[in-house]
C-alpha cells in the first residue's frame, strides 16, 4: 500500500488481501497500545510445552486460523506451518513479529493516496481480521473495489485461489488499459 502511494510511477495495480491495519478488535488494539516487552516473549519461548503437544495444537489451530469454516485445507500448508512452528520459541517469534507489525504499522493507512486500480479482497469468515478493516480501507482509497468472498477465511488465496487469481488478472488488465489509453 505504502509502495503504491510513494511510487505511483512504478506500481500500476494493487490487490490487498485481508488487510489488518484498520482492524479494531481487541487483539489489534492490544498490539497497537504499546510494544510487548521482550521478557514476555522470552517467557513464552520457555514455556514447558512438550513438542508432541505443541505440534498437535498447531495442526488443529492452523486450519482454523488460515481457512474459513468448512473450507478444504491443503495438507501441504498445514504441514508447512506445523514444521515452521514446532517449538515454543517458534510460537514466541511468530507472536513477537505479529505484535511488532501491528504496533509499528499504527496509522500507516491514514491519509494514504493510491492512484492505481485497487481491489481489496477479504474473506467473510476470517477469524483474525474483521471484514470491517477492509471496509474502512475501501473508504480510504477512492475508486477501489471491495470484494468479500463469502466462503473464505483469513487467507482467501488458499480458500478460493481461482477467484483471487481472477481478481488479480482483472485488476492488472484494468491497469494495462489505463496505461494504453493515457
Q: How would you write the pLDDT of the chain (182 residues) with one tens digit per residue?
A: 777 888 888 999 999 998 877 777 677 777 777 788 889 999 999 999 998 999 899 888 888 877 767 777 888 888 888 888 889 999 999 888 888 877 776 666 667 788 899 999 999 988 778 898 899 899 988 999 999 999 898 889 988 999 999 999 999 998 887 656 55
* Contact present, 165 and 173 (Cβ < 8 Å): no
**Alpha carbons 137 and 109: distance in angstroms, whole number:** 8
* Contact present, 123 and 153 (Cβ < 8 Å): yes
CATH number of the domain enclosing 27: 3.40.50.1820
- In the block, cell 514455556 appears at 47
Supply the pLDDT for residue 48. 94
Supply the pLDDT for residue 43. 95
Region label for 143, one of left (φ > 0), alpha (ψ between -120 and 50) or beta (otherwise): left
Longest CA–CA span in the chain (Å) reads 62
Supply the pLDDT for residue 157. 93
* Angle between helix 88-104 and 38-45 (nearest 10): 160
pTM: 0.69
Give the SS3 label for residue 139: helix
Q: Which domain holds residue 118?
A: 2-181
Number of neighbours of residue 38 by Cβ within 10 angstroms: 9
Q: How many domains does the chain have?
A: 1
Q: Any idea what DSSP says for residue 71? A: P
Supply the pLDDT for residue 108. 61
Amino acid at each position: 500500500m505504502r509502495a503504491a502511494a510513494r511510487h505511483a510511477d512504478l506500481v500500476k495495480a494493487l490487490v490487498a488481501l485481508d488487510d489488518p491495519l484498520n482492524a479494531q478488535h481487541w487483539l489489534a488494539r492490544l498490539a497497537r497500545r504499546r510494544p510487548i516487552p521482550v521478557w514476555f516473549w522470552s517467557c513464552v519461548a520457555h514455556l514447558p510445552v512438550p513438542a508432541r503437544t505443541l505440534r498437535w495444537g498447531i495442526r488443529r489451530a492452523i486450519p482454523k486460523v488460515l481457512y474459513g469454516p468448512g473450507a478444504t485445507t491443503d495438507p501441504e500448508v498445514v504441514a508447512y506451518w506445523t514444521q515452521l512452528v514446532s517449538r515454543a520459541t517458534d510460537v514466541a517469534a511468530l507472536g513477537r513479529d505479529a505484535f511488532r507489525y501491528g504496533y509499528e504499522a499504527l496509522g500507516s493507512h491514514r491519509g494514504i493516496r493510491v492512484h492505481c486500480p485497487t481491489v481489496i479482497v477479504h474473506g467473510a469468515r476470517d477469524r483474525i481480521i474483521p471484514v470491517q478493516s477492509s471496509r474502512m480501507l475501501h473508504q480510504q482509497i477512492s475508486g477501489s473495489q471491495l470484494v468479500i468472498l463469502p466462503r473464505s477465511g483469513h487467507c482467501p488465496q488458499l480458500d478460493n485461489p481461482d477467484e483471487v487469481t481472477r481478481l488479480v488478472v482483472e485488476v492488472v488488465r484494468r491497469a494495462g488499459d489505463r496505461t494504453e489509453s493515457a
